[in-house]
Amino acid sequence: MKNDNMAKEDAKFIRENVKAHNKWFEECIPMIASENLMSPLAKEMLISDFADRYAEGLPGKRYYQGNIYVDKVELKAIELAKKVFDCEFADLRPISGTVANMAVLMAFAKPGDIITTCALDQGAHISTCEFGAFGQRGVNSVNYPWNESNMNLDIDGTIKVLKAAKPKVAQFGLSVFLFPPPLKELQDTFNEIGCLVWEDCAHVLGLIAGKQFQDPLREGVNIVSASTHKTFPGPNHGILLGQNLTEEQEKKLQHAAFPGVTSSHHLHAMAALGITLAEMDVFGKEYAAQACKNSRALGEALYELGVPVLCPDLGFTRSHAIAVDVSQFGGGKQCAQLLEDANIICNKNMLPRDTSSVNPSGLRLGSQEMTRLGMKESEMKEVAELIARVVKKKEDPAKVKEDVKELKKNFATIQYCFNAGEPAYEYHDLVDF
């Protein structure tokens, strides 16, 4: 046997740093709008034997043996997805939101085809950019015109763009997703062009599950792609949902999911997704409603403290997220760093007309994770005060950090799930090492 002391030290180093991260996050207020906490029951699935296995294809039609129980779990999870999202089609195999997007592109667009979509400084995700999945598929993207004052599509302009571009697919969905797109107003145009309508609901999937956001599949959207770990508090994974698709279109999507963009589909995550779907069926409404109330309360409190939040006239947001303009306080990069120094975790974000993603003028804040840990509107006010002390008053982050830790102590239990009570960030040693 080789002398393994060095390698063992390296393994220890990795484990110790993961533990340190867990410990740190216990003392943090995480406000990243694309993150969440899995329930203890869902998390348990991640260390099951499913994590070590392969299942290619669909339940009952696998290429590998050993999938007796995997098939049962996947069929149940698909059934739950159709129930929770009230839809005809669900595929749980994409292993992330980006991979789900790649599947849609593979199924419904060829290189050179036109897809209409939002632009990066309007809050779009990188996967719809030239340097992301859209570019990789070689589609020609055409952007919609944007109305900064209400952080939404300019309806008349969008109708014009759709009529001129005649896209094969009209795509919607954002990473700074404050308000739902005007799908009803665009429906006649979709019908006239005969395009497929696709929405990337990565950010708002949990709000849709809880019926607290526009329900895209009831408003003319044919395909929803999404991540399952943002407002939807499941594992790092992806999902495809469909409504009013032909059998051929459903087959195309399935074929794109596998063998198109995945081989095995991370069975442990698929099982965790199934559990989360069951939990959202029961607790989704209450959780999503509170997350939406909390983001508005956070926006309002920050605004009153003199920290500009976008769209005050519209109540700041209809979702879990708010966009904060910190250009007068040193910009997004500096403010996000100062907040991290105070144990408030968020990200810098581009706002309309920003040209630099490295030093943009905004911060994006999400309420969903702290909602899951039990915070309500009154705590959002406290969080807003902590943020304002760092960002506006430029108080020493080390000092604010002590108050952040103190506040967080009372919010260490995940709610809205079957077995609330387990600490959120506790690290479980499985072996003596």
Ligand X SMILES: *Cc1c(COP(=O)(O)O)cnc(C)c1O
Residue number of the CB closest to ligand X reads 97
Distance of closest approach, residue 343 Cβ to ligand X, in angstroms? 23
Answer whether 179's CB lies under 8 Å from 147's CB: no
Please say which residue, 67 or 317, places its beta carbon nearer to ligand X: 317
Binding test (CB under 6 A) with ligand X, winner from 39, 67, 98, 349: 98
Site for ligand X in 226-255 (CB under 6 A): 227, 238
| 96 belongs to the binding site for ligand X (CB under 6 A) | yes
H or E segment at 42? helix 40-45
Answer whether 144's CB lies under 8 Å from 172's CB: no
Supply the DSSP symbol for 423. Answer: B
Binding test (CB under 6 A) with ligand X, winner from 40, 167, 173, 284: 173
| 132 belongs to the binding site for ligand X (CB under 6 A) | no
Binding test (CB under 6 A) with ligand X, winner from 30, 40, 97, 332: 97
| 206 belongs to the binding site for ligand X (CB under 6 A) | no
Please say which residue, 174 or 261, places its beta carbon nearer to ligand X: 174
Contact region with ligand X (CB under 6 A), list: 46-54, 72-80, 200-208, 386-394: 200-208
DSSP β-ladder status, 169-172 and 196-200:
parallel
C-alpha distances in Å from residue 68, one per residue of 50, 71, 85, 386: 12, 6, 26, 52
| CA–CA distance, 129 with 178 (Å, rounded to integer) | 20
Distance of closest approach, residue 388 Cβ to ligand X, in angstroms? 27
Binding test (CB under 6 A) with ligand X, winner from 202, 380, 387, 400: 202
Residue 422: what are its φ and ψ, rounded to 5°? -75, 140
Task: Report H helices in 139-236.
Answer: 155-165, 183-193, 205-209
Distance of closest approach, residue 336 Cβ to ligand X, in angstroms? 17
| 295 belongs to the binding site for ligand X (CB under 6 A) | no
Distance of closest approach, residue 205 Cβ to ligand X, in angstroms? 10
Distance of closest approach, residue 175 Cβ to ligand X, in angstroms? 4
| 203 belongs to the binding site for ligand X (CB under 6 A) | yes
Burial of 128 (C-beta count, 10 Å sphere; 0-12/13-18/19+): buried
Site for ligand X in 23-52 (CB under 6 A): 34
Please say which residue, 177 or 316, places its beta carbon nearer to ligand X: 177
Answer whether 216's CB lies under 8 Å from 291's CB: no
H or E segment at 127? none
Radius of gyration of the chain (CA): 22
Binding test (CB under 6 A) with ligand X, winner from 127, 343, 368, 415: 127
| CA–CA distance, 216 with 200 (Å, rounded to integer) | 10
Binding site for ligand X (CB under 6 A): 34, 96-98, 101, 125, 127, 173-175, 200, 202-203, 227, 238
